[in-house]
Chain A
Amino acid sequence: MDLTHADNVKKSVKAYIMVFVALMALTIVTVAISTLHLSVRAAIVVALFIATIKAGLVASYFMHLISERKLIYAALALTAIFFLVLMVLPVLHYLEPIGN
């Protein structure tokens, strides 16, 4: 949706409210699941899965990534690759433990 026109913005306000409700609901779900005290592995997977959905909603609707220019997508794709490298770095520790 082209958000440079006031009419389209008016329509997207409804979407913002729905996203808000979804974010609140997912927050409640996250906290509720944490009270179950799942195993650490399961808890991490579930918590990060829900957090990723929430982050996706914020980025797509509030930050308008759902209808953005290609240049932004390209920059973010590059960022995502480097971010993944950062997250994988600690795992390399297992492949070659320090001191060996």
Chain B
Amino acid sequence: MEIPYTATARPDTGLFNAKLGVWMFLASEVMLFGALFSTYVLLRVGAPSWPHGYEILNIPLATLNTVILISSSVTMVMSWASLMMKEFKKYKMYMGLTILLALGFLIVKGFEYGAKFSHGLYPSESTFLAIYFTLTGLHGLHVIGGIIVNTYFWGPGSKMWHTDPQRFTNRVEVAGLYWHFVDLVWIFLFPVMYLL
């Protein structure tokens, strides 16, 4: 059975199916992260004292990661724009950059986690560290998920460009929606965990 409306828009929604599907998925993701942010608020207002993130966490490394992730969002949208302009080589370059930046984010995060562990700072150490590792860990898993999908679209999945370019462009667009959402979550995580 052929999946309908992968390349053209469905007349009643005005959207190709994957786009609506990914937006529904992102709505559920808002609730997932929202529940954890809500938990953070409850834990914080209920705690007798709460440390400043900057006393425990590494702000320069987190700022670097913010720059990396925002840059990767730009390269991601540029990879889609390149396909729209029928420039496949540029697409490969921008998508490749997106993947490299995402890997860079994970490496920096790995250094951060490593430094915490080497000082005996585990999630069990305090409520602050527990919610820090939960939120950044879940976000990190999302980054890994994005790398897997984007690597597929950069490598074997990109063959579709030669057989069904519109469908492939749509696939990259919705992968981008997910990737920008991962960036969005970090935009809030960074000040909430590190700066307040």
**Contact present for B45 and A75 (CB under 8 Å):** no
Please report B residues at the A interface, Cβ cutoff 8 Å: 13-15, 19-20, 23-24, 27, 30-31, 34-35, 37-38, 41-42, 45-46, 54, 59, 63, 66-67, 70-71, 73-74, 76-78, 81, 84-86, 176-177, 180-181, 183-184, 187-188, 190-192, 194-196
> What total of A-B pairs shows CB separation below 8 Å?
124
**Contact present for A3 and B59 (CB under 8 Å):** no
Question: Which residues in chain A, 1-59, are within 8 Å of chain B measured between CB atoms?
Answer: 3, 6, 9-10, 12-13, 16-17, 19-20, 23-24, 27, 30-31, 34, 40, 43-44, 47-48, 50-51, 54-55, 58-59
Question: What are the nearest 5 A-B pairs in CB distance?
Answer: A47-B191, A90-B42, A34-B195, A9-B84, A79-B27
**Contact present for A72 and B70 (CB under 8 Å):** no
Residue A95 interfacial (CB < 8 Å): no
The CB with the most chain B CB atoms within 10 A, among A63, A79, A87, is that of A63
Taken together as a complex, chains A and B put the C-alpha atoms of A22 and B3 apart, in Å, by 40
Interchain Cβ contacts under 8 Å between A and B, 12 examples: A34-B59, A43-B195, A48-B191, A48-B192, A55-B188, A63-B181, A71-B15, A72-B15, A75-B23, A82-B31, A87-B34, A93-B46
User: Taking A24-B67, A75-B24 as contacts, is the C-beta distance between A51 and B188 under 8 angstroms?
Assistant: yes
**Contact present for A72 and B20 (CB under 8 Å):** yes
Number of interface residues of A (CB under 8 A): 45
**Contact present for B14 and A71 (CB under 8 Å):** yes
B31: chain A residues within 8 A (beta carbon): 79, 82-83, 86
**Contact present for A9 and B180 (CB under 8 Å):** no
